[in-house]
Amino acid sequence: MSPRLDWKFGQANDYTRPYHASFQVKAGRHETIRISSTASRGELQVPYTVILRSKSNVEVETKGTWYGLVTWNPHHTLSVVE
């Protein structure tokens, strides 16, 4: 079985991945709580080769590089502001 992907030349596919975090925090009177969130980020460059074959067995080869961004390891730190 071959993977299937529908795409057209000249169009970009954008994907988003929102991060969501909830915290239950108790702060005393006149106390300020600071929450800092970070995530690791990396840029990807993936070379690819696509071979397109028509019903009449004509083949066309296309090569390129896919560029993307990946995030991982979300981390949250809670602290009291003094």
pTM over 0.85: no
* Nearest-10 Cα torsion for 52, 58, 59, 62: -60
Rg (CA), the chain: 23
> From the centroid of its chain, how far is CA 77?
22
What domains are there in the chain, each with its CATH number?
A: 32-81 (3.30.2460)
**C-alpha–C-alpha distance, residues 52 and 41, integer Å:** 33
pLDDT, one tens digit per residue, over 38-53 is 999 899 999 999 999 9
Q: Is the pLDDT of residue 8 over 80?
A: no
Lowest mean pLDDT among 5-9, 32-36, 70-74, 78-82: 5-9
Q: Is the pLDDT of residue 3 over 60?
A: no
